[in-house]
Every structure is written in C-alpha cells, then in structure tokens.
Structure 1
Amino acid sequence: MKIKYFHFLILGGMLACAPSAKVGTDTPDVTSAVPLVSIGNERIYADEFLYILEKSQQLQSGEEKSSRATFDKNLDLFINYRLKVKEAEAMGMAESEEFDKEFTIFKEDLKKPFLIKNSLQEGELQKAYYRSKEILKASHILLQFPNNASVEDSIAVYNMALKIKKEAEEGADFNDLAYEHSDDPSAKQNRGDLGYFSALQMVHPFEDAAYELSVGSISDPVLTSFGYHIIKLEDRKLNKGEIKVSHILIRLNPADPVAEDRAKRKITDIYTELQKNENSWEEVAKIYSDDQNTKGTGGKLPWFGVGAIIPEFEKAAFALNEVGEISSPVKTPYGYHIIRLEDTKPLASFEELEPTLKSRILRDSRSSLIQSQVVAMQKQKYAFKENAELVAAIKPIIDQSLAISLESVKRQLDDQGLLDTLIISTESKSQRVSDFIRFIEADQAIVRTGPNEFFNPWYSKFVEKILEQVEEDDLMTNNREYRQLIQEYRDGILLFSLMNEQVWQKALEDTLGQREFYESHIDQYQWKERIPAVIIEMNKEEQLEKIRRFLSDKDYNVRLKPRLEDQFLNDYPSLFTVQDGTYEYEKHPLLSKVDVQKKNHEIKNGGRTHFLILGNVLPAGPRRLSETTGKVIQDYQEYLDKKMIAELREKYVIQINEDEKERIFEIVKE
C-alpha cells in the first residue's frame, strides 16, 4: 500500500463532510492540558482533531465558514475514527508481525524529510543542479603517489606539485608541463586537456576546486583518490542542455597503411554528395556509414550532454546551431564522422533532474562526505561522549580475535571486566561494550572489513546506528509535526486492518449475509420499465442507405448484432458501433426520445445518425441478486460499518468536554 492511500482512507472515510474553514499556521495555539474527548480510559486532545481536520480541508475548495452543525458532524466522525483505532488496538492488531513490518516501512519513509541527512542531501542536490547550469573547460596535471607511499613520499609529491604550479604561473605553457610531468596516461595525447565537463562528471574534490576557479587561474594542488591535481580553468559557459544528432562514420583500419588517406577521401566525397539537395541524408547514411548500429535509422544517436561523449565529436556536435545543419568531416579515434543536428533541449528543471542527481550523488564520494557531516552534527547536537581509553583498549582485542570467533572476543572482554563498561553516551542514551558486541552479533549492518581491521568499520557503523536512533527519538519527543504524522499513519494502518477484516473483506466473502441483506432490502433493488434494444451509432455516412435498407424490415432479436457486424464491418471496420442490451429507457439518452411502442427508429443525436431496433417493454420489478451484486456488497459494507460503530459506542464510554469543544469551535469558525 502506498503512503498517499492512507490520507484518502482516513480523510475520505472520516472527514468527508469537513468544512473549508482554515486551521493552520495562522490559528491560535490549541495546545491544552484538557482532553477534548475521552474514550474509555484514553484521553484525546484537540490538537489531534484539528490536525486531521486541517488535512481534510486541503482536499476541498471554497471558503465557507464552519457552521455548528458541520463542526458537530466532523467531531462525530472523528470520534468514530478513534473508536475504530481503539478497537483495532484492543484486538491486538498493533502487536502483529504484519503491522510491525508495515509500520516500520512507513516510518522509514516518513522520517526522511525531518532528518539532518535530508537537509544536507538537499543542499548537495541544489549545489549540483546550480553547477550543472555551467560547463567548464579545464586542463590538469596529475601527480600520483608511489606504491606503499610514506608520509615523506606524500610530502615530496605535494612539493613537486607546488613547483609545477609556480612554473605555470611564471609563464610556462601549462599543456607542455602536463605532457612532461603528468601521470595521467592520456596526457601524452591530450596534453592535459580534459575538454568540457559539468557537475558530477569529475571526482568531488576535483569538481569543487574547478568550480571555484576563474578562467585562466590555476589551482593549488588538489588531493583526490588518484593523487594530486593541478588544475587550470580554460573556459566556462552556460550549459546548452542536451542535443540529439545523427552521424555518418567512415572507420579507420590501423593495420592498413593507406587507410587514413582512403578514409579521408571517402568522407570528403560523402560530404560533397550531401551538399546536393537530391541526396537524402538517410539514404547516404544507409549506403555509406560504417556504424552498423545506426545506419539503418539514418545514423541517429541517443540524446547526450557535455562530457558524455568523446571530446572531438562533442565539440563538433555542439558547434551546430540549426536543426538539419551538418558538420564538415570530424576525426575521432573511431574514424571520420559527418554530424547532423536533429534536435536540442535546454537543461531540464530541478524537479525533472532531481532523481538522477540524487542517484549519482549516492554513488559518488559525496555520499560518504554527507554521512560524515551527519554524524558530526548529530554528535554535537545530542552531546555525544566517547570513552576514548576504553575504545583504545578493546580495539586490538576485536581486531585480533574477531577473525577467530565472536565468542573468543566476548571471553577476552569478559575476563578483563570490560563488557559492562560504558563506551558511548548521548543526552538520552548510553551504550556499553556488551551492546556493541550484540550489534556485531546481530550482523544486520553492511560492514566492509579488511584483514585484521574489524573494529573501526563495525564501531563506526555502531555509532551511526545509535545516533540515528537518538535523532529519531528526539523527533518523536520534540517535533510535533513529525509526531502527528507518525501517529496518523500508525492509526491509518490499524484502521485499514480493522475495516478490511470487519467490513470490506467480510462483506465480499459473506455470500449468505449478502443474500439476507438483499432480501431484507429488496425495495432498494428494483428495475424500472426496461426494453431490449440494438443501438447502432454511425461513424461514417457513406453506407447509410445500405444499412437503412438492411434494418427496414428487421425485428429485435439477439442475432441481429452479429448479423450486422458480419454484413458490414468485415469490409468497413470503423463504419459504426453497435450495442445490444436491455435498458431502463426513461432516462436513457436515446431511448427516452422515442416512442418505445414503435420498434424501428432512425434519429440524429450529437451530429450522428443512430438506428434503434426495439423489443417489447419489460415491466418494472425486483432485480435478481446476480444483477446487482456490486451494489448489494457496497450497501452491505456500509451496513456493517454502521453496525460496528453502534456496537463500539455501546462498548466504550465516550465523554466530550463541552468547554473545550466550544473553545475549538471558536478557533475553527474564525
């Protein structure tokens, strides 16, 4: 079941008659120590009623003031709703495994917008989208670390990077320096030129540094997982979005010494042919292109943006300005291309790109950075404390013994009296070493460990999970909106379970009850006078006279419809539509306009010709159960619902605080 479903279940079923009066941020504070309603031993306060009432008003239009009668009706519906939730609890539905599983899934979704992590992710998404509005052109020089680099090695590489930067700033050609010094394997071909790129196409530290540069400036050494980079920003401009192109490719054969010249002459001849108006691009592509995947479709390629395709091709493609414009021959590592612009589209809106941006950020190193920031903020907010000496004491025990067995770890910690020692604490939660060991034992976290490196990954995940729980507990205690939302969905699941068991499913499966209800309410299931009829609606007038002649001597019978279809629709499939049924004619849009005693009619309706062939009028009378099963089930469900409410109102003592009710009414009607 989807989250939105419960809004309509609760609001539609409970407050369908809610007024349009505003109850929201401008309303006075409704917090009160006095309950609005008591059901049995449960005290229910006004803020819950107003919260649900406000939600219901978001589904409605108009600005009518709430009348006393409407207010009383809504309060009555609210009490019915709370009675059902209370009964579901009394039946143990809140303790079932199915409820726990479903509620846990809902909570995970509901809490996300309230978490620190969400605000940080939102910030990264906005930053990525803002950056994606620009494309950058940069060159870089990469200096990698030697294998098993020491601290001294790292310092040496850093100093080398500073030296190269200084040379560049003093006038040395940056691309020459890249050719000479860069450890990037592609530097011998591209001399450090990375071409154009946009957000989320480079590793995070590189992107951050590049977007901070002005055109022509050179960065300080930037550390990434590849080594130290020195970056020079060559250009920055607006992102044009994505383009769709087609191409004709003539491949190069490296094994053929004359292939280069032959390919160049061939692509030139093709380019010349394309200048002639009589030659179709699609035909030329089909005949000459060596791209077997696209030649049959006129060389069409998928949409792409900056940084998504080889630079030489990308540069030529983005240089095209008019749809249909073709490029002069372009050489890439694949061969020679001629490119035609098919279509363009601007950068999509943030809302359209958000899912893609989020997916890429979660796969990027940014996700680890976000998590580190989350943990740091949680530690500060919730007064996190760590027993550093204890951590240092248990780390070697876990690193050395966990590879053997968890039991070995527990024995050693127990022998040293460490299991019951406090390892971390927050303002609301304390955890001991034994809690940490149980966390490992449960093995419910995804933790990557290395050889003899068990403690740090498990301990980091343990701290994360504890802080997540502390944050969730804090939300429930101190965030009223979150608390109300969680309560709403918890109660919604219980309400659904109760209604499904006691009303909806019961009415569907209780065939004996359906029949008894049908027989005792037979007056609600009556046919008015009906008439059997074949109704033909003409879609085209071209065969009108033939159909008129065919029907002129026909009486109604059940074989008329198939005879009509066989006679005409095999040759003219869309000539007409035909229906055969039994209809209550008094309010029928066509039958109500004719004399039903006459059996053959031709009338115009909605600009179309209709032929009506009528049978004999059937008298009014009761419907058979099989003819009205859906309506009987619906009515039976409504009956069971009302019966359940009546029984619950007998079962539980309901008390309404009239003074509190009056106070809330004054708030609602303003």
Structure 2
Amino acid sequence: MPVGTPEVSDAAPPSETFLIKIDQDPVFPDEFLYVISKNRDLRKVPDKIDEKEFEESFNLFVNYRLKVKHAEELGLDRSEEFVTEFETFKKDIKKPYLLENSLEEGEIKKAYSRMQEVIKASHILIQFPENANKEDSIAVSSMIEKIRSDVEKGEDFNELAYKYSDDPSAESNKGDLGYFTALQMVSPFEDAAYGLEIGEISDPVLTDFGYHLIKLESRKPNPGEVRVSHILVRTDPEDPSSEDRAKRKIAGIYDELQKEESRWEDVVSMFSEDQGSKSNGGLIPWFGVGAIVPEFENAAFSLTEIGEISNPVKTPFGFHIIRLEDRRPIPPYEEMEAMIKSKILRDSRSSLIRSQVMAMQRAKYQLWENDILYQKIKTIARENGGAAPSPDNFKQKVKEAGLLDVLLIKTSEESFAVKDLLDFIDTQKKNIKPDPGNFFQAWYDKFLETVLDEAEEKDLYQNNDEFRQLIREYRNGILLFNLMNDLVWQKALEDSLGQIEYYERHRDRYQWTERVPALVVKMNQEKQLDKIRRFLSKTRFSDGIKEKIEEEFLQDSPLLFSAESNVYEISKHDILKRLDLSNSFHEIQLEGQTVFILSGGLIAAGPKSLEETKGKLIQDYQQFLENELIASLKERYPVEINEEEKNRIYQIVVE
C-alpha cells in the first residue's frame, strides 16, 4: 500500500551489468560515472582526468560504498531520524521534476506575461441566492443570458450594470472596475478578461461570486510601480458638513505648499490625518495599478516628475495631496517569480493546478477505479442516519461486508484492495482531519492522490536518470554522515583515552621547530614613527610588551598601528625566517608599510604537549579511525570488481 518511499538504493538500474559487488550486492556503473563526472563535461578534453586521479576516485568510491553497505547493515536507513530527514530532502529534490511543478511554472510565466500590460474592464454580476437549489441556479443562468442578449441588442453595458448588477459598487461606478493586472482578480475572471478584444463582451463567466458578464474597455502597457507620499484630510460619512470643512482645509494646505519657504515634511507632520504615515513624511509603500483606490491611483500615476505635487484628490477616505517620490518598471521575472508563485498557491489557481495534475496522472498511469465497490463503501460510510462512523467502526463494517480483499483501484504498475485504503486511514488519521459530513469521500480522495503521487515518483525513479542519481546521492550521503559521525567524528572527539594513546604512539608527529617569542608592529600611519622606533629599540621583549606599547601610543591615535605578540615557529613565519634573530630589534619595509619586530630568546625545537596539538591530534585520530573502519569493512564485506566495466568508464573519463 502507499505509505511513502519507493526503494531507492539500487533499484531500477539502467544496465544489468555491475561495476562492483559488495558482499554480492551489485553497484552499477552509472552511479560511479555520475560521481566522477559531477561538474565536468567529459565530452571536452579539458574536463577529462588522468589515470592517477581515476584510480584515486575509484578507490574512494569503493570505500564510500563499503560505508553505505555497513550503514544499511546497522539499520541506519530504518531509523526514525533517517526516514524523517530523507523524506524532507526528497520532497525538495523531486519538486522540479513533478508534473505539478511544470504546471506551476507555466502559470507563473503566464501571470508574469500578463503583468506586462494592464486592462480596464466593466462587469455585471448576478449572484446565487444563499443555499441556492437547482431552480435558483437555472434562474440565475437565465438572467445573465437575458442581460447578455440586451447588450447584443445595443443597450448600454454600464447602464445595465447599474440596473442589474449585484456588485454593490455598481451603484457608483456602473460596473467600471478600472485598470487591473494579473493576480488581482479571481482566476476565471482574469482568464476571461485577458482573452477579450477591446469592446468585446464575454460569455457568462462563473466564479465563486456568481455569474459575470465582462466588457473589455481598454488595455495598455503596465506603467510599473510608483512610490508616493501624501497628506490626508479625512471626511466623515456620518457628518454631511465634514466634506466642506475638509475641502477648505485641503485647499489651505495646498496654498501653503505653494510658498517657497514651505517644506513638505513639515506640512505633512503638521496637517496630515494619516497617523500611519505622517511621522515619516507621508511616505507609503510602493504600489502598482489596481492595488489602491482608483482616484488615488490615477492621480499618483499622472505625476511625471519626482517631487511633483498633485492638486487635491477626493477618495472615499477624504482629500489627499500626493507627491511623487519615485518610479520603477515591472521587476525582472527572476525577482517576481517567488512572489507570483506565492500568490498563485494561495488562490483558486492552486486547486486548478492540482486538478490538472491528477487528470494527467490518471491518464499517464492508467488509473482504474471500481465504481460499484466505491458506491458500496460510500453507503457503509453513510450509515447511522448519515453520520460518519469512526475509522475503527467503519473498518469493522467493511470487514463484516466481506470487502477487505476486493480490488478497489489499480494503476499500470500496482493494485490496491479496500484493506489498503483502510490501512492508509489508520496510518494517516493523525495527519488528516476530514469533514465528518464527508468522511469517506475525503479519505478516498486523499488515498487516490497519494497513490498517483507515488506512481509518479516511482516513474521518475525508474525513468529519469538525473532524478534517480540525486535521490541516491542524498540518501547515501545521509547514511554516510550518520555512520561517520557515530564511528569516527564524534568518537574521536569524545574518546579522551584513545586520544592519549594515539598521541603517545605518534609523538614524533607533534614537534615544534625552532621558535621565538616576538612582537610584530605594522604601522598604519607614519606619524610618531621615530618615537615608536626609539621606544622599541631600547626595550627588551617581555610578555606584556604588546599591551605596554598600545597603552603608550594608541590612546590618542587608535589607528596608528596594529600589533600582535606570540611565540612563532621561525621557519613558518614569512617575516621572522628572513631576519637575523641574534639582534632583538628589526625594522623592515613590507609592501610600502613600515614593520617593527622585537624578538626574545630562541626556543629550541622539541615536542608539543597534547593540549598544544589537540586540534591537529583529533583530526589525525579521526583519520586513523576512518582508516581502521575501511580496513575492517574490507575484511567483513568481500569486494568484486568488474574490470571490463571499470575499463569502459576509464575510456570515457581519462584523456
């Protein structure tokens, strides 16, 4: 039954010929070729490799596959932690390959293409009554057809909108929606409107709001977005006299702005009644066509010069004076893609995409459904006066009816009985909460969706080489990380006794070469150069010398120089290895910068303490543990190499 993951380790190879066998388990050539050719175009000579690199890569691949084999033997691929992590990775990896992604991408590109223009339309809306029955639906359909007939006979569209439209705004705008662009209307309305010629009337368009007739008035290139600031004087719909007061006040403010000494920000702060913007000069966010009330939008887009101020503009909120701050065109597709996708996935387009995906999956994977059985189970689910039974009770009733093993659905590759549906309900009931009034249908639809999604994933794994290799790479990579973390990396960090034992056996690796304590002063400025020279030339090196010179000279000039003091291995220090350290004070020029060095007595070569070399020691100990692990795995799992296949790949990748 469909519960999640098709086998992805070594299934469905493109060839039956193995490259290596590890304990009789085959590993196929395509995997090694994928690993060795990543980020290379092996058809080009510069990307080919030499014989030495090929052998090193092959040996590393064998070791890698040994570790994966051991991780599987330890059951790491069955741990809850692995399954959760792998499923998360797989979900992200497969997105670009799915039918759904290609449909989403098509919708995104279509929306962006439509955004290159704005269209102006009027509409007439006839809504369905609440709890509409079949007769109501017929009546609404007849009404919209009658109105369309009236339009065709020459009656004025906008007057008909005023007379018949159920859109409340029609009383004031006679159905005129102004300009809008993609993703500002529901999908069926947008599709119909963008498909019209100027002056053309649509057929009735059904949306969640009811039936619409749409008339396209105009279309023009999208002017992009504007950023404006404004001053607002509010009106009160409940107070008839407030409009006259607001009109007089906004006129006075406009006159004030004409004065040469007036400053926009000060006038905004003093007079604007928009509490959200008055403190920042009246600035409001960027907006495009169709995003704000038409009166404000039209005035804003009519401004052409940065800093230009509009005449007073009336909107439902009151009176505004608007100043243009900036303009910008529609951003490039790459910048808009994420925003467009987010909007699409939040509106009705997402349901439409999902329906299209399922239709394509049904056809591609030859879905067959047992309609008679479906109706029987649906009847069982509706027993007890129509109330949905609990999942357990429902399962028992289906079992009593003898339907558990009856074929319910099948695809071109798999068959599913009723018990598979019931098992699915058991495993998913914590994640899915169906509407009690639609108990069976909700579960059946989700089961069907899961079956089809898994059929698509299995198809991808079998027939898409890139997808198969990526899934395998991530799966084995997670296993490898978990194995190495348990047996090598974390063990080396925590095994203090093992660290000591390794250190004692390999003391000769952890040795200091000849060292010297030294202060290195790099001058950033040339002032006080003589003072610092005299100070250092008369001073002996000591542990606190860095702090002493900084206290002496950096109090008033903190950028005068930079200083560092440490014990350095002479042969590994670019400056010290060039000096005669029998002298304690040195002055050199390094890339045009004056550098002073004050050195102490030489320290002979000798062993490092464990603490002094702990970082390097742990790295070496980890490598030791890894080498031991590889050696033990080679003893535990016999490795067979197909030399013929290895040579075939050699001919492809080696120059």
Fold equivalence (TM over 0.5) = yes
Equivalent residues in 2 for 1:235-246, closer than 5 Å: 235-246=218-229
- Supply the AA of the counterpart residue of 2:27: I
Aligned-pair CA distance for 1:262: 3.3
- Supply the AA of the counterpart residue of 1:532: P
Equivalent residues in 2 for 1:107-118, closer than 5 Å: 107-118=90-101
Equivalent residues in 2 for 1:93-132, closer than 5 Å: 93-132=76-115
Equivalent residues in 2 for 1:330-479, closer than 5 Å: 330-401=313-384, 403-444=388-429, 449-450=434-435, 452-479=437-464
Match of 2:639 in 1: 654
Supply the distance in 1 between the matched residues of 2:557 and 2:259 (Cα, whole angstroms).
45
Match of 1:85 in 2: 68
Match of 1:624 in 2: 609
Aligned-pair CA distance for 1:64: 5.0
SS for the counterpart of 1:57 is coil
1:539-565 per-position Cα deviation (integer Å, ceiling 9, x unaligned): 344555555565554332233333444
- Call closer, same or farther: CA 1:316–1:524 in 2, change over 3 Å: farther
Match of 1:38 in 2: 21
User: Are the counterparts in 1 of residues 388 and 438 from structure 2 also a CA contact under 8 Å?
Assistant: no
Q: 444-453 vs 406-415, which deviates more?
A: 444-453
Using the size of structure 1 for normalisation, the TM-score is 0.88
Using the size of structure 2 for normalisation, the TM-score is 0.90
- Call closer, same or farther: CA 1:637–1:147 in 2, change over 3 Å: same
User: Are the counterparts in 1 of residues 381 and 389 from structure 2 also a CA contact under 8 Å?
Assistant: no
1:122-152 per-position Cα deviation (integer Å, ceiling 9, x unaligned): 2222222222222222221111011222223
Aligned-pair CA distance for 1:319: 2.2
User: Are the counterparts in 2 of residues 241 and 305 from structure 1 also a CA contact under 8 Å?
Assistant: yes
Q: 446-455 vs 305-314, which deviates more?
A: 446-455
User: Are the counterparts in 2 of residues 31 and 46 from structure 1 also a CA contact under 8 Å?
Assistant: no
Aligned-pair CA distance for 1:407: 4.0
Aligned-pair CA distance for 1:104: 2.1
Supply the distance in 1 between the matched residues of 2:396 and 2:351 (Cα, whole angstroms).
34
- Call closer, same or farther: CA 1:327–1:38 in 2, change over 3 Å: same
1:343-399 per-position Cα deviation (integer Å, ceiling 9, x unaligned): 233222322222222222121111111111122111111221112122222213202
1:179-216 per-position Cα deviation (integer Å, ceiling 9, x unaligned): 22111112222322222222211111111111111222
Aligned-pair CA distance for 1:445: 7.3
Match of 1:539 among 524, 528, 534: 524
SS for the counterpart of 1:63 is helix
Supply the distance in 2 between the matched residues of 1:266 and 1:608 (Cα, whole angstroms).
67
User: Are the counterparts in 1 of residues 42 and 653 from structure 2 also a CA contact under 8 Å?
Assistant: no
1:639-670 per-position Cα deviation (integer Å, ceiling 9, x unaligned): 22222222322333222222222222222236
- Call closer, same or farther: CA 1:654–1:454 in 2, change over 3 Å: closer
Supply the distance in 1 between the matched residues of 2:43 and 2:322 (Cα, whole angstroms).
54
Match of 2:653 in 1: 668
Supply the distance in 1 between the matched residues of 2:527 and 2:278 (Cα, whole angstroms).
45
SS for the counterpart of 1:290 is coil
- Call closer, same or farther: CA 1:255–1:104 in 2, change over 3 Å: closer
Match of 1:165 in 2: 148
Structure 1: which 5+ residue stretches go unaligned? 1-29
SS for the counterpart of 2:539 is coil
Q: Is 1:488 aligned to 2:473, yes or no?
A: yes
User: Are the counterparts in 1 of residues 40 and 47 from structure 2 also a CA contact under 8 Å?
Assistant: no
Match of 2:171 among 188, 209, 233: 188
Match of 2:275 among 284, 288, 292: 292
Q: 613-622 vs 569-578, which deviates more?
A: 569-578
User: Are the counterparts in 2 of residues 140 and 231 from structure 1 also a CA contact under 8 Å?
Assistant: yes
Supply the distance in 1 between the matched residues of 2:421 and 2:14 (Cα, whole angstroms).
40
Supply the distance in 1 between the matched residues of 2:500 and 2:444 (Cα, whole angstroms).
64
- Call closer, same or farther: CA 1:287–1:541 in 2, change over 3 Å: farther
SS for the counterpart of 1:48 is helix
Q: Is 1:212 aligned to 2:202, yes or no?
A: no
- Call closer, same or farther: CA 1:232–1:613 in 2, change over 3 Å: same
User: Are the counterparts in 1 of residues 201 and 216 from structure 2 also a CA contact under 8 Å?
Assistant: yes
Match of 1:8 in 2: none
Match of 2:598 among 577, 600, 613: 613
User: Are the counterparts in 2 of residues 445 and 461 from structure 1 also a CA contact under 8 Å?
Assistant: no
User: Are the counterparts in 2 of residues 66 and 668 from structure 1 also a CA contact under 8 Å?
Assistant: yes
Match of 2:9 in 1: none
Supply the distance in 2 between the matched residues of 1:637 and 1:528 (Cα, whole angstroms).
25
Match of 2:127 among 120, 126, 144: 144
Aligned-pair CA distance for 1:224: 0.3
SS for the counterpart of 2:340 is helix
SS for the counterpart of 1:240 is coil
Supply the distance in 2 between the matched residues of 1:269 and 1:604 (Cα, whole angstroms).
71
- Supply the AA of the counterpart residue of 1:137: K
Supply the distance in 2 between the matched residues of 1:451 and 1:67 (Cα, whole angstroms).
67
User: Are the counterparts in 2 of residues 143 and 157 from structure 1 also a CA contact under 8 Å?
Assistant: yes
Supply the distance in 1 between the matched residues of 2:62 and 2:470 (Cα, whole angstroms).
19
Equivalent residues in 2 for 1:500-579, closer than 5 Å: 500-542=485-527, 544=529, 547-548=532-533, 551=536, 553-579=538-564
Supply the distance in 1 between the matched residues of 2:324 and 2:529 (Cα, whole angstroms).
51
SS for the counterpart of 1:249 is strand
Aligned-pair CA distance for 1:222: 0.6
- Supply the AA of the counterpart residue of 1:529: E
Supply the distance in 1 between the matched residues of 2:613 and 2:43 (Cα, whole angstroms).
32
User: Are the counterparts in 1 of residues 581 and 599 from structure 2 also a CA contact under 8 Å?
Assistant: yes
- Supply the AA of the counterpart residue of 2:129: P
Supply the distance in 2 between the matched residues of 1:271 and 1:364 (Cα, whole angstroms).
42
User: Are the counterparts in 2 of residues 400 and 452 from structure 1 also a CA contact under 8 Å?
Assistant: no
- Call closer, same or farther: CA 1:530–1:314 in 2, change over 3 Å: farther
- Call closer, same or farther: CA 1:67–1:559 in 2, change over 3 Å: closer
- Supply the AA of the counterpart residue of 1:423: L
Match of 1:261 in 2: 244
Aligned-pair CA distance for 1:58: 7.0
Supply the distance in 2 between the matched residues of 1:472 and 1:363 (Cα, whole angstroms).
25
SS for the counterpart of 1:400 is coil
Aligned-pair CA distance for 1:256: 5.1
SS for the counterpart of 1:537 is strand
Match of 1:638 among 619, 623, 645: 623
Match of 1:72 in 2: 55
Match of 2:295 in 1: 312
User: Are the counterparts in 1 of residues 114 and 181 from structure 2 also a CA contact under 8 Å?
Assistant: yes
Match of 1:19 in 2: none
Match of 2:235 among 239, 252, 262: 252
- Supply the AA of the counterpart residue of 2:606: G
User: Are the counterparts in 1 of residues 305 and 324 from structure 2 also a CA contact under 8 Å?
Assistant: yes
Aligned-pair CA distance for 1:54: 1.6
- Call closer, same or farther: CA 1:657–1:453 in 2, change over 3 Å: closer
SS for the counterpart of 1:420 is coil
User: Are the counterparts in 2 of residues 447 and 457 from structure 1 also a CA contact under 8 Å?
Assistant: no
Match of 1:221 among 204, 224, 227: 204
Q: 454-463 vs 60-69, which deviates more?
A: 60-69
Aligned-pair CA distance for 1:459: 1.6
Q: 120-129 vs 267-276, which deviates more?
A: 267-276
- Call closer, same or farther: CA 1:64–1:173 in 2, change over 3 Å: closer
Match of 1:51 among 34, 53, 56: 34
User: Are the counterparts in 2 of residues 507 and 633 from structure 1 also a CA contact under 8 Å?
Assistant: yes
User: Are the counterparts in 1 of residues 41 and 47 from structure 2 also a CA contact under 8 Å?
Assistant: no
Identity of aligned residues (%): 55
Supply the distance in 2 between the matched residues of 1:500 and 1:61 (Cα, whole angstroms).
38
Q: 260-269 vs 362-371, which deviates more?
A: 260-269
Q: 547-556 vs 354-363, which deviates more?
A: 547-556
